[in-house]
Structure 1
Amino acid sequence: MEIETETQAGVVVLRPKGRVDSNSARELEEALLPRFDAPAPVLVDFSALSYISSAGLRVLLLAARRSKATGTALGLSGMSEPVAEVFAISGFAKLFRIWPDAEAALAELAAG
C-alpha cells in the first residue's frame, strides 16, 4: 500500500492505494492519526483502494475517536463497491460522514 497526502482547500487529503490489511494497517495509522493534532479537516479518499480488512477498520475507528476528541472533522469518500460493502456490513457506514467522491467531500469539509 502507498498513501498520497496533500492539502486541498484547507483539507488534508489522504489517498491510500491498493489494500489496507493486517500488513499495511499500521502504515495507515501512522499517516492518519497525527493529522488530528492540527485543526484542518481530514478526508480519506478511498478511490484507489481495492480492499480493507478489519485491521483497517480498526484504524478508522481510532481516527473517528481522535476526530471526536480533538474536534477535527473527518470524512471518507470514493469507496469502491467492495469497500463500501465492508463498511455497510460492519455497521461502520453509520459512524462516518461518507461522500461518493472527493470533490463533494472537499466542498463540504472546506466550508466547515
Structure 2
Amino acid sequence: MTIDETRSADKLQLNVHGKVDANASPELQNEILKAFQKCPSVILNMQDVPYISSAGLRALLIGQKTAGSKGGKFLIINASESVVEVLRVTGLQKVLSVQ
C-alpha cells in the first residue's frame, strides 16, 4: 500500500493505493492522524483500494473519531465496490461519511 497527499486551502486529501490489510493498516492510521495535525478536514480517496481488512476498518473509525474530537470532517470518496460492500455489511457505512 502507498499513500500520497494532495492539499488545498482547507482540505487535505490522502490517496490510498493498494490493499489495506493488517500489515498496511498501521501506516494508514498513522497517515490519517498526521493529516489531522495539518488540517481539520481530511478526505480519504480509496479509488485504488481493492480490499480492506478489519484492521483497515479500525483505522477508518479512528479517523472518524479524530475528526469529531477536533471539530473537523473525515470523508471517504471513490471507494471501490468491494470496499463499499464491506462497509455496508459491517454497518460502518452509516457511521462513516462515504461518497
Residue 38 (structure 1) shift: 3.8
Q: Which moved more, 1:32-41 or 1:56-65?
A: 32-41
Residue 85 (structure 1) shift: 0.2
Equivalent positions of 1:72-111 (< 5 A) are: 72-99=72-99
Residue 6 (structure 1) shift: 1.1
Equivalent positions of 1:58-69 (< 5 A) are: 58-69=58-69
Name the SS for the 2:50 alignment partner: strand
User: What are the superposed Cα offsets for residues 51-105 of structure 1, whole Å, 9 maximum, x if unpaired?
Assistant: 1000000011111111111111110110111010000001110012211xxxxxx
Aligned length: 99
Alignment correspondent of 1:28: 28
Is there any run of 5+ residues in structure 2 with no aligned partner, and where? none
Provide the aligned C-alpha RMSD in A.
1.2
User: What are the superposed Cα offsets for residues 11-69 of structure 1, whole Å, 9 maximum, x if unpaired?
Assistant: 10001101000010011011111222344310001111111000000011111111111
Name the SS for the 2:44 alignment partner: strand
Does residue 30 of structure 2 align to residue 52 of structure 1?
no
Residue 9 (structure 1) shift: 5.0
Q: Distance in 2 between matches of 1:61 and 1:5?
A: 20
Task: Give 2:18's aligned amino acid.
Answer: G
Structure number with the higher helix fraction is 1
Is there any run of 5+ residues in structure 1 with no aligned partner, and where? 100-112
Task: Give 1:77's aligned amino acid.
Answer: I
- Asked if 2 retains the 8 angstrom alpha-carbon contact of 1:67 and 1:74, the reply is yes
Task: Give 2:98's aligned amino acid.
Answer: I
